Amino acid sequence: MGERFVVVPVDGGVRVAGEGEHWDAVVADPASYTGGGGGSSDSSSGTAEVKEAGEDSVFEPEDPNALVPILEYNREPNKYGDGVPKENSPFINNTDNDKGNSYDGTNMALFEEEMDSNPMVSSLLNKLANYTNLTQGAQEHEEAEEDEGPKKKAVKSPQMGTFMGVYLPCLQNILGVILFLRLTWIVGTAGILESLAIVCLCCSCTMLTAISMSAIATNGVVPAGGSYYMISRSLGPEFGGAVGLCFYLGTTFAGSMYILGTIEILLTYIVPKAAIFVAEKKEDEPDALLNNMRVYGTCCLALMAVVVFVGVKYVNKLALVFLACVILSILAIYAGVIKTIFEPPDFPVCMLGNRTLQNHNFDSCLKTEIIQNVTVTTKLWKLFCDGPEFNATCDEYFANNNVTSVQGIPGLTSGVISENMWSVYGPLKMLVENKKLPSAGGSDPAQDIYMPYVVNDITTFFTLLVGIYFPSVTGIMAGSNRSGDLRDAQKSIPIGTILAIATTSFIYVTCVVLFGACIEGVLLRDKFGDSVKGNLVIGTLSWPSPWVIVIGSFFSCCGAGLQSLTGAPRLLQAIARDGIVPFLQVFGHGKANGEPTWALLLTAGICEIGILIASLDAVAPILSMFFLMCYLFVNLACAVQTLLRTPNWRPRFKYYHWALSFLGMSLCLALMFISSWYYAIVAMAIAGCIYKYIEYRGAEKEWGDGIRGLSLNAARYALIRLEEAPPHTKNWRPQLLVLLNLDSDQGVKHPRMLSLTTQLKAGKGLTIVGNVLEGTYLTKEAEAKKAEQNIKSSMSAERTKGFCHVVVSSNLRDGFSHLIQSAGLGGMKHNTVLMAWPGTWRQSNDPQSWKNFIETVRETTAAHQALLVAKNVDSFPTNQDRLEEGTIDVWWVVHDGGMLMLLPFLLRQHKVWRKCKMRIFTVAQMDDNSIQMKKDLQMFLYHLRLDAEVEVVEMHDNDISAFTYEKTLVMEQRSQMLKQMQLSRTEREREAQLIHDRNTASHAAINDKAETGPDRVHMTWTKDKLFTERNRNREGNSNVAVRDLFNMKPEWESLNQSNVRRMHTAVKLNEVVVNKSQEAHLVLLNMPGPPGNRGGDENYMEFLEVLLEGLNRVLLVRGGGREVITIYS
């Protein structure tokens, strides 16, 4: 709670509570201390009662002169106890409506300071119990409402139940166009056995998916979005967006299919004369039908879109009418089947030989007939002959075969079921024949297509029929898509969906068997009923009239189309409002009541594409792919959540198992490739593109999805495996801990460090970017978060893939030590530390800066970690630079495990350094065979498969020069000067001037003439002075030089000879490196270790400065004590 009371002593004295004393007071109402009424509270309630003066009171002083503590009402918030929660919800840290209702009472005083962020359960239970999913378009439970600006107008709570909200929409979508228009044809073509296999395969797939979906739907509240919401929250935004958009496309194309079915029924069976395009020739009939479908389909789509735009409630009201028609149609089918037992309907099929004839243009199935005792030719004769005369030229097959009439609906007890058991597949234009009837030859296949035969309009095979049939079971998510309109989605979705699938599966299985048992095979294979005067084939079976089925199927398709046009825009709206696909955000807007207007327009536009295809058989496999992909990921989501056993996975629906989900997933994948392997690949490609787009461009969302949990489990497993044994040399790569420096505003001081990291890693391996803030975490928490955010921004800008770790420590020294020891996890720890050279260590008044650097070097060595130190890191190239041809020079002085050879190879993998060549220099002493050394090194590099130039540099054992002695003398004198930390800055500068004057006098003999010294002491020599002094030493008379050395010897004898030798090495090696590699793009050099005695740390920094003098980009390398490169495969 933000309000607290502080005891303040008054009356001019100061009294501090003694050890063990504590002043505590809890006041029931601050108004009682400011003159307000009603301030006292009943003592029996546990609150403190303030008594009148003169009575016994805990606040009454025994000594009148003692201090009286007064309660001061302080509204300053608690600085240390309260933090911002990681995520917002309707319950935690959302007390805007309760502000001002401050806590009264002492029963829970222990928690009073936390009640702003953690409200009392007693006041929260009502919200928890009454929390329901909001209507379509409302904010989801994990999004903060205050970010949306002014609150939207309250929307009426949804009231739809299981029957109206889930069962009926699912039933209506499942019992759609395929049952009435294609199932008889599928049974006739595939046979009863294979048709049952198709039905069982598809229904099993949807039932297993429904079980998985029920588990997900009952694992928490399902707001608007239905299936998309379930997939995205279970598998993450990338999978959710990809599969959600695919499911949206599938639902939209389903709308196209239902509209095409509606128009096919209208133009083929209800009003054939309404066709705008009429074919004059038989071969033009398919094109004319497609054009009619396009025109009427577009008009029907526009009408349905207007109905949906008016409001979803009208769709729900119409759904009752449409579904009543569907149920009546199905009952009419069963009634017709029963009637065939006693009185089969009369639908004769005219056969010429064994071929089925289209019965459109003739009345009697005869070649000739007797009218008034006169034999005349029939209309059928005129279709096959060039005239009505008996001597007219007729088709040869017509002349050779008799015309017979068979009963199209022989009845349930006719035994036709045995003939329809097996499949009859065939190519395009194959004649529909009854093989049991006699047939004489003489046909001309080229002319048969112009004759009135019933033929296959497409090539038929098993997998095609699977693709065409599957949309008839794809309405299972019609209820979950409208989850925002449901009163209790967790209860309604499982019950309604599973009941709908069970009902429709029973209908499909019984229909397959009954169709095969009641209808003649040639009529079953007659897709459009041409052999029964254009009647709907399934209508010929119904009772009391075929029109019951025709009208019922018409309204069924209309209702299913409306359901699709209702669900698809809401699905798109849910995806758009999540913000995971940036270019779809405009479709998240809608009318004031939440209706998705813009999404409806896009849905209608995509639906029009399906209508322009105009063929129901061509559209069905397309939407099968999208639905199957969605079902596949629903099963995957359930399986992943079940196997991960995440704490939040607690479905109320208990009848699920991960094995069922995997079976359903495998079945979906198999059906995708069975139906159409190329459509399957295209659908997967579309989903993959959407996935990658969301991954790179979409908003970052954290939904606690299963894929993230799977990643955590995989990471845990991998880390445990890594812990078992250290990596082999072949697998070794630098896993970097980058120690960054930040400025006063917590900005990255050297962003080129991150550029170098990116170039060195190329996105591979582990990268931890660390920083240390000095202080305590309680006071530096905000700065630490700001620093972490700034580092992450810089990492993103420099394309550095890795992790950020900011540590707050009492001092920098300990902080860096903690990072080196504890960064990483298990076997995934860093093995290399990258840091920048402290370039301003000489100018720094605080010696701790360079002492921290040296201690870090020591700690990396103790931890057996490699160390990389970049000098002049700000001059290193950025990731956008492209270095022209140059060299990366490696100075291999001591063996460090091969780091010096490996690093240039890794750098050259990056496009910044790709054009650079690698040169390796090694140093030979006087007694070394430099020629043999070069050959050996070349052979070694050959075995390492490294392309590099090799050069052996000879360093002769020269006497230590006066220049080296002088550098050492200046270094030691400076060191002694800086150790006198008790002197003031002015005194230190004065002493430095005295040392400089004495130093100038001591080497006057070498310089031939004295030089006037500057006001300040020169801590190091400049590069120009270095070369000038060397030239003077070379050109001077040797005798004079010897005499000078003899004169200075007494002062040099006091120098530490170890320091002299080290300085000599630094000077000589620097001279060689500068001579060979001054123009190199990068120099890699062995880094000497710090001295064992900490007293010489400042001298160590001087040695390194001399070693690196005159070089631009240098990377000092110190190995970790193990081999990192090998010649073996």
pLDDT digits (tens, 9 = 90+) for 1048-1100: 444 545 555 667 777 777 888 888 888 888 889 999 988 888 877 776 677 78
Where does the pLDDT of residue 81 fall: very low under 50, low under 70, confident under 90, or very high at 90 and above? very low
Q: Could you give the angle at the alpha carbon of 594 between the alpha carbons of 592 and 596, nearest 5°? A: 110
Q: Stretch 208-219: mean pLDDT, rounded?
A: 89
Integer Cα distance of 169 and 628 in angstroms: 19
Distance CA 493, CA 278 (A): 47
Calpha distance 485→487 (Å, rounded): 7
Q: What is the mean pLDDT of residues 882-895?
A: 86
pLDDT of the residue at 462 = 92
- Least confident among 520-524, 611-615, 906-910, 953-957: 953-957
Q: Which residue has the higher pLDDT, 749 or 732?
A: 749
Distance of alpha carbon 680 from alpha carbon 327, whole angstroms: 34
Asked whether the predicted pLDDT for residue 660 surpasses 90, the reply is: yes
Q: Name the pLDDT band for 892 (thresholds 50, 70, 90).
A: confident
Per residue in 786-826, pLDDT (tens digit) is 999 999 999 988 888 889 999 999 888 888 888 888 888 87
- Distance between CA atoms of 308 and 603, rounded to whole angstroms? 11
Distance CA(757)–CA(81), nearest Å, equals 38
Question: Long-range contacts: 227-232, Cβ < 8 Å, 24+?
Answer: 227/477, 227/480, 227/481, 227/571, 227/630, 227/634, 228/571, 228/574, 228/575, 229/140, 229/483, 229/574, 230/480, 230/634, 230/637, 231/630, 231/633, 231/634, 231/637, 232/578, 232/580, 232/703, 232/705
What is the pLDDT confidence band of residue 430, given thresholds at 50, 70 and 90? confident
Q: How far apart are the first and last CA of the chain?
A: 66
Torsion of the alpha carbons at 344, 349, 355 and 357, rounded to the nearest 10: -160
pLDDT of residue 203: 94
Q: Tell me if 856 sits within 8 A of 816, measured CB to CB.
A: yes
**Residue whose C-alpha is closest to residue 755's, from 867, 872, 878:** 878
Task: Give ∠ CA 504-508-514 in degrees, rounded to 5.
Answer: 140
Which pLDDT score is estimated for 125? 59
Token representation of residue 1070: 């620097």
Q: Which range has the worst mean pLDDT, 76-85, 148-157, 906-915?
A: 76-85
Q: How far apart are CA 815 and CA 820, in angstroms?
A: 9
Q: Please report the pLDDT score of residue 566 as a whole number.
A: 83
Asked whether the predicted pLDDT for residue 200 surpasses 90, the reply is yes
Ranking 244-253, 420-429, 910-919, 975-984 by mean pLDDT, the lowest is: 975-984
Say which amino acid occupies 514: L
Q: What is the DSSP string of 338-394?
A: HHHHHS----EEEEETTEEBP-SS-SSS-SEEEETTEEEE-HHHHHHBSSSSTTS-B
Q: What's the rounded mean pLDDT across residues 1002-1011? A: 42
Percent of the chain surpassing pLDDT 70: 72
- C-alpha span between 343 and 548 (Å, rounded): 19
CB atoms within 10 A of CB 1061: 13
Res. 123 pLDDT band, cuts 50 70 90: low
CB-CB neighbours of 749 under 10 Å: 13
Instruction: Please determine, for residue 3, whether its predicted confidence score (pLDDT) is greater than 90.
Output: no
Could you report the per-residue pLDDT of 391-410, keeping only the tens digit for each?
Answer: 888 888 888 888 888 888 99
As a whole number, mean pLDDT of residues 469-491 equals 79
Backbone angles phi and psi of 376, in degrees to 5: -130, 160
Strand pairing class (374-377; 368-371): antiparallel
Residue type, 888: I
Q: What is the pLDDT of residue 201?
A: 93
State residue 1034's pLDDT score.
46
pLDDT in tens, 1097-1120: 777 888 888 888 888 889 998 887
For the residues 65-73, what does the mean pLDDT come to?
42
Task: Return the structure tokens found at 1020.
Answer: 């190091």
Separation of alpha carbons 527 and 966, rounded Å = 106
Indicate if the pLDDT at residue 104 is higher than 60.
no
Rounded mean pLDDT of 904-914?
88
Q: Is residue 333 within 8 Å of 542, Cβ to Cβ?
A: yes
Q: Which residues of 561-583 are buried (b: 16+ CB within 10 A; e: fewer)?
A: bbbbbbbbbbbbbbbbbbbbbee
DSSP letter (8 states) at residue 764? -
Most confident of 116-125, 127-136, 534-543, 582-591: 534-543
Average pLDDT for 606-612: 92
| Pairing of β 348-352 and β 69-74 | unpaired
CA distance 189 to 526: 9
Q: How far apart are CA 550 and CA 483, in angstroms?
A: 32
Q: Does residue 1102 contact residue 1088 with C-beta atoms inside 8 Å?
A: no
Calpha distance 687→902 (Å, rounded)? 40
Burial class (CB in 10 A: 0-12, 13-18, 19+), 179: buried
Confidence (pLDDT) at 47: 39
Instruction: Pick the range with the lowest mean pLDDT from 161-170, 532-541, 744-753, 799-808.
Output: 161-170
Buried b (16+ CB within 10 A) or exposed e, 755-790: bbbbbbbeeebbbbbbbbbeeeeeebeebbebbbeb
Phi, psi of 707 (to 5 degrees): -65, -35
Grouping H, G, I as helix, E, B as strand and the rest as coil, residue 595 is coil
Q: CA-to-CA distance for 9 and 67, rounded, in angstroms?
A: 6
What is each CA distance from 205 to 200, 201, 365, 666, 669, in whole angstroms? Answer: 8, 6, 46, 9, 10
Is the pLDDT reported for residue 15 higher than 90?
Answer: no
Sequence-distant (6+) residues with CB within 8 A of 482 are 160, 165, 169, 226, 312, 566, 567, 570
982 — pLDDT class (breaks 50, 70, 90) = very low
Res. 195 pLDDT band, cuts 50 70 90:
very high
Give the residues across from 906 on adjacent strands. none
Tens-digit pLDDT profile for residues 32-66: 333 444 443 344 444 333 334 343 433 344 444 44
Residues 588 and 573 sit within 8 Å (Cβ to Cβ): yes
Give the pLDDT band (50/70/90) at residue 509: very high
- Residue 501, classed as helix, strand or coil, is helix
**What proportions of the chain, in percent to the nearest 5, are helix, strand and coil?**
55, 10, 40
Confidence of residue 661 (pLDDT cuts 50, 70, 90): very high
pLDDT of residue 177: 82
- Give the mean pLDDT of the chain: 76
Q: Mean pLDDT, to the nearest integer, of 100-116?
A: 56
- Which of 483-492, 531-540, 935-944 has the lowest average pLDDT? 483-492
Classify residue 474 by burial, with Cβ atoms within 10 Å: 0-12, 13-18, 19+: buried
| Percent of all residues in the chain with a pLDDT value above 90, rounded to a whole number | 15
**What's the confidence (pLDDT) of residue 23?**
39
For the packed helices 546-578 and 237-265, what is the interaxial angle rounded to 10 degrees?
160
- Range with the lowest mean pLDDT among 297-306, 460-469, 579-588, 862-871? 579-588
pLDDT over 50 (residue 764) = yes
- Band (pLDDT 50/70/90 cuts) for residue 1038 is very low
Under the banding of pLDDT at 50, 70 and 90, the label for residue 1046 is very low
pLDDT tens string 544-593: 888 888 888 888 888 888 878 887 888 888 888 888 888 888 888 777 66
Residue 671 — very low, low, confident or very high, per pLDDT cuts 50/70/90? Answer: very high
Helix, strand or coil for residue 808?
strand
Looking at residue 647, its pLDDT comes to: 78
| Structural tokens at position 1001 | 């006098």
pLDDT at 827 exceeding the cut of 60: yes
947-957 burial string, b = 16+ CB within 10 Å, else e? ebebebbebee
Q: Where are the alpha helices (DSSP H) in 594-699?
A: 597-613, 616-644, 658-675, 677-697
pLDDT for res 1107: 84
CA-nearest of 930, 949, 937 to 888 is 949
* Reported confidence tier of residue 363, pLDDT bands at 50, 70, 90: confident
How many other CB atoms are found less than 10 A from the CB of residue 1085?
A: 26
State the pLDDT at residue 106: 56
